[in-house]
Structures are given as structure tokens and as C-alpha cells.
Structure 1
Amino acid sequence: MCGIVGLFHPQLPSVPELGMLRRMGDAVRHRGPDGEGFHAEPHLGLGHRRLSIVDLAGGAQPMATEDGAVLVCFNGEIYNHAALKRELEAAGHRFRTRSDTESILHGWREWGLGVLDRLKGMFAFALWDRERGELLLARDRLGEKPMLYGLLPDGTLAFASEMAGLLALPAMPRRLDPAALDDYLALGYVPDPRTIHAGISRLPAAHFLLLRRGEAGLPAPRRYWQPPRAGMPAPADAARELAARLDAAVSAQLMSDVPLGAFLSGGVDSSAVVACAARAVAEAGTGPLATFTIGFDGPEDERPAAAALAARLGLASHAEAGRVDYVAAARDQAAIFGEPFGDHSAVPTLAVCRLARQHVTVALSGDGGDEVFAGYRRYRFHSLAEAVRRAFPAPVRKRLIGGLAAAYPKLDRAPRWLRAKSTLTEISLDAALGYYRTVCKLHEERRRGVYAAPLRAALDGHAPSARIAALMAECDPDDALLQAQYADLHTYLPGDILVKTDRTAMAVSLELRPPILDHELVAWGMALPAKLKLRGGFGKRILREALAPQLPAELLWGRKRGFADSIGGQFRAQAATVRTRLTGGVMAESGLFDVGALGRLADEHTSGRFDHAQAIWQLLVLEGFLARQDLAGVAASRASAPVGA
């Protein structure tokens, strides 16, 4: 795993300063502590920080072709690079290293943009073809590896693996985007292609940018891969085929010249990956696989189930108790993520990454199983809600069920079966808006209630739900489950899950690989009929059935545990600190919020009458970000579109 930085001016032939590239590289040093490399020539500068995984001696970057005409800086792993090498050598190409990076160079020369269709893996790279005068920035199909970019005032394109690499440039604009801020508070993250800064964008998953020397302006990103938007007939023996596909994906991702282990939570997804990896390692005779687990005391503790499975499979097991001060941890999120990030499970994820890094450089994870095979509870609810919607004409549903929802009291602290207001509201809405409400962290009335008037005015017409609705509309209208999965694959997976795992792992220089996100497995799994994914009250039905010969029934069919500690109680225990941070300092000085409303939010949570834990966490994270960015005193009224300066 590595860090990429670069500068490109298509029209000015000046040579970028190496000192500037080094500052950018130093800002992402944690992504690659094992080495660095820089290159500068007219129009272009490239920088690379390396975490050595494959071909430790020969994989230094930037890497060039033998004649020096094509260079690449690459972050990730190409799991089929050996097969590509054989094909390219048969076509006359000569390889000088064992590194997977070199397959990109020769692949570009042989296939041009078609190389993107041939790469299997997780990647983000910058490739410069001096003869063609073309710079290619590309990102993998699911968004496992990041690529951010922005324009400097002189027209230079700056790009980097993380926000810190861009903000190392004093000239990089730092203007808060009000729409991104609203998206963050609605969803818990800023979805692609936005970032919290109006002048900085994320290259979306499965997209590339192709820039040419001499051409003015920034072209729009172009898509090169699309997940399925309609289902397929059920395969004859879907469970057996899934088991074979998962075995192949896991085996491909075991390539490494450094120690490799796996995360193990005791849940279905990580257990599936570990079981496949353990079998592959045993067959190869490469030694036992190490597993890593973080758990929290109480009934949700994942350590006993993980230890039992590790013992059953004959694996080394490393586990620690998670002890987290979330009030303090909120301040650290901006340093890790570069912008506000509201998934509080990032805190224990960082802890398990630290544990793993004490023993290995590469770890496998089970990420992706819930999205690909419909494991989230919200998928079951959405499918049921859609069945109810289709039983009632829209006017009746909105009038009758919507009326019930309006009249039903909000019972945040009541048992789940009494909290029907949200359920009724979601059913009364159309499918896309109903699903949006299930993934929304802070609904519009809550968000707008804490905004200052200038920020509310700047957000006029912005709806975080619009992106999800547009994505769901691209899918088969008769497959409600696929619509929800498709939306998550473009928003929640790359914006939350994969950002969380990439940044926390890279913060401790650990490479994390999720085999379930093999793009061919993803396309096959998502296109399965809904009945193979959701049935009998269980999500991931087909995955559970595929693993039945390998894993114990209590693990496959038992209750899912959560990977996080309770945060609400901590916020009540530290009520004075929470209130001060929400209503004073940068939150008050920014001009973005109604501090009186923030105070009432904190007081309602402290009283125990309401559970505002998620809102408070996101606001505390935002407070830490604003303090780190030194945006105090920046009022929303000072800008029309972007907020801040």
C-alpha cells in the first residue's frame, strides 16, 4: 500500500519544485514508510511513498518503462498481475521486476485505456505518457483506494491519496462546501465526488480522468465499469458456485512477500474469509494464519466467538479489549480522515488495525459481504416496506399512513417495537425517499433546526436524498432489493465503509484487503435473485448456505453482534464537556450553527428523554475538524455557494 502525490499543468512547461512534492509526500508518509521517490519534468511532478508488499527490492516508484517514456505512481494491489505479465510477455514486452506495478506500464502500452478493464484488484494510480502528452488518473471499480484532486489558482492540477497531501500546498483553496456539510450531517460522510472543501474533489470509484498536455480546462471523470442494474436467473447450484468464487477471490489476495493475517469478528463475513484463507494457507504449506479481534465487555463482545473459530481452524488468535473515550476520539478524526467522518465504528477499527500491525503488514477483512449479499437489516425492512407500498395506491398511502405517522409520538427511548413513527413515515413515502430515511443519520428537520440562517439560505434547494433517488432509478424498477444495494454500492460503500478501512489501516501503515469485493464476485452476487439473498428473516442467505459445510451453525445463524461500544452513555457522563464543545469555541465562531439549538440538543440527550448520540458524535467530529482547520470566525454569510474561507 502506498501514497501518491502529484502536480500537473497542461499548458505551463515549468518544472514543479521537488520541495513542494516532498511536502505533499511527507503529509502522507504513514501510507508508505518504507521508501519514497520523486520525479519532476516540464508540466509534471510525481511523488510516491511506499509500503513494501510485493517485490521488496524491485518495486520502487515512480516506475518507468525501459525507455523512460511512460511513468506510473501506483497505490494498491493487482491480483492478476502474474497472468497479465505472461500475456504481455507473449506480445513482446520485457519485464524487469516482479512488481505488480510494472503490469500497468506495459498494459497501458499494449491496450491503452483498455488496461483498466483487465486489472483485477484495488488501485489508484497516476500514469504519465510523455510521448502522447497524457496523464491518466484512475481508481478501482469499488473505490477501495482513494484519489483526490483540486486546482490551484494558477491552473495546476494537484492530486493525492489523502486530503493532507493536497492541504500541504499553501495555495490549495480551503473553502467549506455547504452542500457537503449538509451531506455529512445527513449521511455521516461526504459522498463522492464532493469533499468538505469546495475546491477539492474525489475521483469516483470505477472512473478515470484523462488530461492532455496543451489542453485547457479540467475534463469530467469518465466511467469504465458498471455494476449490474438488473438481476439474473438463479444459477443451478448457487451455493456451491459462491463457495468456489469466494475461495478463488481469497486465494488471489493472499499474495505477499511480507507477513499476512486477517481480521476476525466472529461474524459471517470475516469468518468466511478466514475459513477460505486458512484452507488456502494450509494447502500451500505457508504456515498458520494470524487473526485479530477487538471486543467490548458485555453481551456484544466478539472475542469469544472469534477465539472459538480460530481454535476450530487451528489459527493463531490475537485479541484485545476495546476501551474508547469517544469524546476525546472525536477530536482525532480530522487528523485521520482529513474531513468530518461520522461512522464511530472507525474508532475500534483503528484499534484492531493497530493490533494487527504489531504482527503483520497485510490483513484480510470481511468488508463488502453486507452490501453484496444483502446483510443489512435495512434491506429486509426496505423489501417489506416496498411490498406494503405496492399494496396501497400512492394517494391513499400518503394520506392514511402519512397521517398516522404525523400523529404517532416520537418515542426515542421506548422499546423498538413501540418506535413506529419512523416506520410509518418511511412507508408513506415513495421507495427511494423511504430508503433514504433508513440510511439518513440526521433528518432534515433536525439538521435545519441547528443551522444558522445564512447556512440554511446557502442550502436552499439542496437535498442529500437526490443522489440516492437517482441511483435507485437506474435499476430494474421491479427489484427493490437490487435498487437499495446499487445505491449503497455507489454511496455508502465507497463513502463510509471503504474510507473507514483505508484511512484507519493506512494511519498505522497496514494494508487491508477485502476479498469479497473482488469485482467479478460483486457483480455475480448482486445480480442474484432477491430470494437467494433475503429469505426466512435472514440476509446473506446464500452466503450462509455456501459456508454451511465449513462453519458452525451457531455462527452462521446466530444473532449479529455490533462492532462498536455504546457512545450515548459516555456523552451523558461527560455532559459538561460535550455541551461546551458544541456551543462554544469554533462552533460558535464559525457562524454555521444556532448555538442555542445545539445546547438544547445536548441537554435533551443528557436528560435521558431523547437519544441524540449519533447527532452529538457527528457534531463533535465536526467541531474537531473546524478547530484543526482554523476556521473560527468564518461565517456562513460570507459566501454564496461555498461557506467559509
Structure 2
Amino acid sequence: MCGIAGIFHPATPKPVDPARLVAMADAMAHRGPDGAGVWTAPGIGLAHRRLSIIDVAGSPQPMQDGDLVVSYNGEIYNYKALRAELAATGAMFRTDGDTEVLLHGWRKWGEGLLDRLTGMFAFALWDGTAQTLFLARDRFGVKPLHYAQLTDGSIAFASELKGLLAHPLLRREPDIRAVEDFMALGYVPDDACLITGVHKLPAGHFLPLRRGKPLTVPRQWWDIDFSRRARGSAADLADELLQRMRAAVTSRMVSDVPLGAFLSGGVDSSAVVALMAEASGQAVKTCTIGFNETDHDESAYAAQIAQRFATDHRARTVASDDFDLIGRLAAAFDEPFADASALATWQVCALARETVTVALSGDGADEALAGYRRYKFQAAEERARSLIPSALRRPLFGGLGRLWPKADWAPRPLRFKTTLLALADDGAEAYARSVGVTTPAIRGRLFSDAARRALGGHRAEERYVDAMRDAPARDAIDRAQYADIKHWLPGDILTKVDRTSMDVSLEAREPLLDHELVQFCASLPASMRLRRGEGKWLMKRALRRHLPDDILHRRKMGFVTPVSAWFRGPLADEAQRLARSPTLADTGWFDMPAIERLAADHRAGRAEHGRTLWQLAMLDRSLVRLFP
């Protein structure tokens, strides 16, 4: 895995200072500790930091072939097949890695190269003949790419925001809309950035920049499609699903450096380990993080799978109140990131890096096969909505919801206020709120009058509503999954894994996000993804011969971090400090007495605001770094 950066002068071929490129790349040295390179020509410069995985001794970057130069971050899993195809048409390869495939593939197929790639990637390719800089990002957004137009008219890009921040001409002005997005969702989504003028190339998009032409908008080259349905019996489709999973896992085991897997003991990581063990001639290296609180600890399940498949297993128990990593996480993510499971994800990445350089994860199956519990609730609510006309449903459920007392402490099925208000809305609006962290009502109380005016009606949930209404889909579950793949997956899950793994110079691979596998899952009848309230139904059926029932059907836990308990215990002082934070106060965005009341209510147990306090804590730390 690597870090890339570059500068392009679209108007005139002004010289690019190599020192600036070095500074941008060195800000991301953790992404590539094994090598560095810079290439410049009139009006263009590319930089690279390398984590050596394939062709360790060769394939330096930026890599040049005649008038083509590329700086690339990622892995192309089908590169050997593409090399053979290109070589058969006369391409001459000088290296043994996957990078050179991009150069010869561009010369042969142009933009059509993207459709042929299987993998995770973000790359910048300069075509000197066409005087075009081509930026591209993989289908799901596994690998990041930020870009901005600077005050001198140049375009700068980098894998991480900190790479752009190393350029002195980047204006550091905050975008209040991104603050609304973060407070709603717990992350800054891929269509937003906390720094005005900085953009993230969307997943499945490319951006062509041509000399002498104005800055264009990204163009979509791939999208998931839930509108088609596969035909066949459950048994036949389960067999096909397993075969596709097997192929995806095997293709991601190619590596010239030590390789292993994260093993939580859940269905997804256990499935990956099972298929790795089947394909490997030696013991698979696995690792897991356990917690010192039984309610949060899954290490016994991981040990069960490790024993079943005779893996070379390592486990480490950490304190569930290990919040000393907050500062390091703020530095790793740049923008505020409030998914508290990032703490545990960083810890398992650090443990893995002690023995391997590449680790396979089970990420992606929940989005592809309706594994989250919220899909179950969404399906049930949609059935209820269909029984009552909207003209009656909205006043009936809306009135009851407004009268019903809040019960933040209760499990969701017993939080009738939330359910009633959801039933009063249409499915897209209700789902958009369900994936959020801080509700619109609480955000309204926390934001100052000036902030609300500056937002000008911008609403974080609207992107979810738009995605669900425009989705290529047949039913409610299709639409919810589509919206999550467009927003939650790249903005939260993949950002979390990329930043935590790269912070310790580890490459993480997600075989269950193989694009052909995910498209097959999207074509399955909804009842084979979610049946009788159980998500990933067909996947569990397909794995019955590989995994025991107590792994397949146990309640999903995930990397739970008890932030609510922290803010009533060891972080109680932190909650009080937030209400007096000069950083938050100086923005003018917040009603500081409202933060103080929110913190006091949480500490006293009168309300549940732990996740909102965590958001404010992460925002506070990020603002200090971004706007010193």
C-alpha cells in the first residue's frame, strides 16, 4: 500500500517545485515507509511513498513508460491475467508488479482500463501526448484521494488530507456544512470536507484534467445495481455465492510479504479465515483483540475458529477504557471521525503489523448481504407503512410519536417514540435518520443561531434520501443497502480501515468487497439476504459446512467501545471540558451552554448523549490540528 501526491498546472506549464512534492509525500510517510520517489516535467509533478507488497525489489514509483507516468496506491488482483493479455498484443514489461499494467493498459484501452481492473486503487496517470492528468478511484472507495484547486490555479492531490495540508497555498477555511454532516453521521462523508475547497474523488469515479481546459467534474465509471434479480434455487445460489467468495479470497492472498487475517470470531472474518485455510499450504496467521469486559469480548469465538482451522493465532487483551489513543486517531484521520470502534481497529492493526504486512478483513458483507440490524427494522417499518395510507399514517403515528416519552436507555424495539416517528415518515427519511448519531432536534439545540443561518437549510440526511429515491433498486432493502454502499461504506467503514491500517504501515484487503461478488449479492432476492429478521441468510447457508452454528447464528457484536460509560466515569472531566472548550467556542458554531446542559444530563443519567459527546471530543481535537 502506498501514498500518492501531485501538482498540476492546467493553464500554463509552470515549473513544479520538487521540494513541495517531497513535503506532501513525507506527510504521509506512514503509508509508504519502504521507498519514496518524485517525478516532474513542465507543469506537472507526481510523488509517491511505497509500502512494498508485490515485486518488492522492483516497481519503483512514480513509474514512467515513454510519455506516460503513474503514481499509484492499491493492489490490482487480476494483474497477472492483464499482463498476459497485454503482452500478447506486444506490450514489453520491465517489472514483475502490478503498477506497470496501468501504463500499458492505458496505452491499449484508455479509460476502458478501469472496467478491466479488479482491486482497490487510487492513481494519477499523466499522459504527456494528450497533456492530460487522469485521476481514478476504485469502485467502492477502498483507497482515498483528495484534491483541491490552489490559490495559484494549480490542482494538488494526495491520498490523505494531511498531504494537501503540507502545501503552503492551500487555504484553511472551515466548511460549516461538513460540521453538520459530521454531527449527523459521525464522519465527514465523501461528498464533503471540513476544509472548504477540498474534494474527495467519489468512489467509482475518475477525473480527467487537460492542459488549457478548466477544471471538470468527476465522471462515474461504475455503480452497483440492485434492480436485477438472479434466478435459481437457494441451494444453487448458495453454491455460487460460496464459489465467488472462495475466488475473491484466493485472489487476495497473492503477496511477496507475510500475509494474515483479522479474526474477530464473527461470521465474516471467520468465513475469510476458513477459505484462506482451505487455499493455503501452511497455517494462516490470524490475530484478534480481546477486551477486559466480558460484554465486549469476542476472543473466545476467535479462539474457537483459530483452533478449528489450525491457524497461527495471536490474541491480545486490551482495556475497554483505553482512550489514550484519541490523540493518535485524530492525527491519523485528519478530519473528525467519531466511530469509536476505530480504537479497537487500530489496536488489531498494530497487533497484526508485528508479524505480517498484509491482513485480510471481513468488511463488506454487512452492506452486500443486509447484515446490519437496521435493515431488519427498515423492512418491518416499510411493511407497516404499506398497510396504512400516508394521509392517515403521518398524523396518527406522528401525533403518537410526539406524545410518547423518550427511552434512550431501552433497546431499539422498545424505543416506541423513535419507531412511531419513523412510521410517520416515508422510508427514505426514516432510514436516513436511523443511520445517524445526533438527531436533527439535538443538532438544532447545539448549533448557534449564526451556524443555522450559515447552513442555509443544508441537511446531512438529504444525501441519504436522494440516494434511496434514485437507487437502481426494487424494494426497501435494496434502497437502504444502496445508500449505505454509496455513503456509509466509503465514509465510515473503509475510511476507518484505511487510516488505522496505514497508520501502522499495514495493508488491509477486503475480499468480500470483490465487485463481482457484491454485484452478485445485489442481484439476490431480498429474502435471500434478509429472512425472518436474519441478515446474510444465504451466506450463512452457504457456510454451513465450514462454520459451526454458534458462529453462524450468534448475535452480532462488532468492536464495541463503551463511550457512554466513559463520559460518566473516567472521561467525566472531558465532558465538562468540552463545554468550556475555547476551540469549539471560537468557531461560533455552537451554543456552549447547550453543550454544558447536554454533558450534565448525560453524566447524571438523565439522558443518553455519549456518542454526541464523543463527536464533540473528536471535533475539538481535529479543529486544533486543522486550524492551528
Range class of TM-score, shorter chain: over 0.9
Query: In the alignment, is residue 365 of structure 1 matched against residue 365 of structure 2?
Result: no
1:127 corresponding residue in structure 2: 125
**Which residue identity lines up with residue 601 of structure 1 in the other structure?**
L
2:286 corresponding residue in structure 1: 291
Query: 1:25-104, aligned counterparts within 5 Å?
Result: 25-65=25-65, 68-104=66-102
Q: In the TM superposition, what is the alpha-carbon distance from 1:9 to its structure 2 partner?
A: 0.5
Q: In the TM superposition, what is the alpha-carbon distance from 1:226 to its structure 2 partner?
A: 1.3
Partners of 2:430 and 2:278 in 1: how far apart?
Answer: 43
1:470-524 alpha-carbon deviations (Å, 9 max, x no partner): 1111235641100000000000000000000000000000000000000010111
Query: In the alignment, is residue 270 of structure 1 matched against residue 266 of structure 2?
Result: no
Q: In the TM superposition, what is the alpha-carbon distance from 1:332 to its structure 2 partner?
A: 3.3
Query: In the alignment, is residue 139 of structure 1 matched against residue 134 of structure 2?
Result: no
2:231 corresponding residue in structure 1: 234
The 8 Å contact of residues 401 and 425 in structure 1, kept in 2 or not, is answered as yes
List alignment gaps of at least 5 residues for structure 2.
none
Q: 2:471 aligns with which of 475, 482, 491?
A: 475
**Which residue identity lines up with residue 449 of structure 1 in the other structure?**
R
The 8 Å contact of residues 326 and 570 in structure 1, kept in 2 or not, is answered as no
Alpha-carbon RMSD: 1.3
Q: 1:321 aligns with which of 293, 317, 321?
A: 317
SS in 1 for 2:295: coil
Most deviating of 470-479 and 389-398: 470-479
**Which residue identity lines up with residue 617 of structure 2 in the other structure?**
L
The 8 Å contact of residues 327 and 571 in structure 1, kept in 2 or not, is answered as no
1:24 corresponding residue in structure 2: 24
Q: In the TM superposition, what is the alpha-carbon distance from 1:584 to its structure 2 partner?
A: 2.3
1:163 corresponding residue in structure 2: 161
Q: In the TM superposition, what is the alpha-carbon distance from 1:59 to its structure 2 partner?
A: 1.2
Query: In the alignment, is residue 575 of structure 1 matched against residue 577 of structure 2?
Result: no
Partners of 1:43 and 1:415 in 2: how far apart?
Answer: 58
The 8 Å contact of residues 178 and 458 in structure 1, kept in 2 or not, is answered as yes
1:304 corresponding residue in structure 2: 300
1:153-209 alpha-carbon deviations (Å, 9 max, x no partner): 011100000000000012101111111110010011111221111110000000000
List alignment gaps of at least 5 residues for structure 1.
632-645
Query: In the alignment, is residue 509 of structure 1 matched against residue 508 of structure 2?
Result: no
SS in 2 for 1:94: coil
- Taking only the aligned residue pairs, the percentage that are identical comes to 48
Partners of 2:130 and 2:92 in 1: how far apart?
Answer: 21
Q: 2:344 aligns with which of 324, 341, 348?
A: 348
The 8 Å contact of residues 482 and 527 in structure 1, kept in 2 or not, is answered as no
SS in 1 for 2:47: strand
Q: In the TM superposition, what is the alpha-carbon distance from 1:249 to its structure 2 partner?
A: 0.3
1:453 corresponding residue in structure 2: 449
**Which residue identity lines up with residue 272 of structure 2 in the other structure?**
V
Partners of 2:115 and 2:19 in 1: how far apart?
Answer: 36
Partners of 2:242 and 2:201 in 1: how far apart?
Answer: 33
Distance verdict in 2 for CA 1:204–1:464, change over 3 Å? same
1:7-58 alpha-carbon deviations (Å, 9 max, x no partner): 0011221221111111001100000000000011101010000000000111
Distance verdict in 2 for CA 1:326–1:318, change over 3 Å? closer
Q: In the TM superposition, what is the alpha-carbon distance from 1:414 to its structure 2 partner?
A: 3.9
The 8 Å contact of residues 366 and 536 in structure 2, kept in 1 or not, is answered as yes
2:530 corresponding residue in structure 1: 534
**Which residue identity lines up with residue 279 of structure 1 in the other structure?**
E
Q: In the TM superposition, what is the alpha-carbon distance from 1:233 to its structure 2 partner?
A: 3.5
1:637 corresponding residue in structure 2: none
Distance verdict in 2 for CA 1:158–1:623, change over 3 Å? same
Distance verdict in 2 for CA 1:40–1:143, change over 3 Å? same
Q: 1:396 aligns with which of 377, 392, 405?
A: 392
**Which residue identity lines up with residue 166 of structure 1 in the other structure?**
L
1:385 corresponding residue in structure 2: 381
Partners of 2:489 and 2:189 in 1: how far apart?
Answer: 10
**Which residue identity lines up with residue 4 of structure 2 in the other structure?**
I
The 8 Å contact of residues 375 and 477 in structure 2, kept in 1 or not, is answered as yes
SS in 1 for 2:471: coil
1:613-638 alpha-carbon deviations (Å, 9 max, x no partner): 1100000000111122345xxxxxxx
1:7 corresponding residue in structure 2: 7
Query: In the alignment, is residue 244 of structure 1 matched against residue 240 of structure 2?
Result: no
Partners of 1:351 and 1:179 in 2: how far apart?
Answer: 32
The 8 Å contact of residues 148 and 198 in structure 2, kept in 1 or not, is answered as yes
Distance verdict in 2 for CA 1:78–1:415, change over 3 Å? closer
The 8 Å contact of residues 330 and 617 in structure 1, kept in 2 or not, is answered as no
Q: In the TM superposition, what is the alpha-carbon distance from 1:554 to its structure 2 partner?
A: 0.8
Q: 2:209 aligns with which of 208, 211, 229?
A: 211
The 8 Å contact of residues 321 and 562 in structure 2, kept in 1 or not, is answered as no
SS in 2 for 1:491: helix
1:236-269 alpha-carbon deviations (Å, 9 max, x no partner): 4111000000000000000100000000010011
Most deviating of 52-61 and 553-562: 553-562
Q: In the TM superposition, what is the alpha-carbon distance from 1:469 to its structure 2 partner?
A: 1.2
**Which residue identity lines up with residue 377 of structure 1 in the other structure?**
R
Q: In the TM superposition, what is the alpha-carbon distance from 1:102 to its structure 2 partner?
A: 0.6
The 8 Å contact of residues 294 and 352 in structure 1, kept in 2 or not, is answered as yes
Query: In the alignment, is residue 603 of structure 1 matched against residue 586 of structure 2?
Result: no
1:195 corresponding residue in structure 2: 193
2:614 corresponding residue in structure 1: 617
Partners of 1:324 and 1:10 in 2: how far apart?
Answer: 50
Q: 1:563 aligns with which of 559, 568, 590?
A: 559
1:253 corresponding residue in structure 2: 252
Partners of 2:195 and 2:152 in 1: how far apart?
Answer: 18
1:638 corresponding residue in structure 2: none
The 8 Å contact of residues 2 and 74 in structure 2, kept in 1 or not, is answered as yes
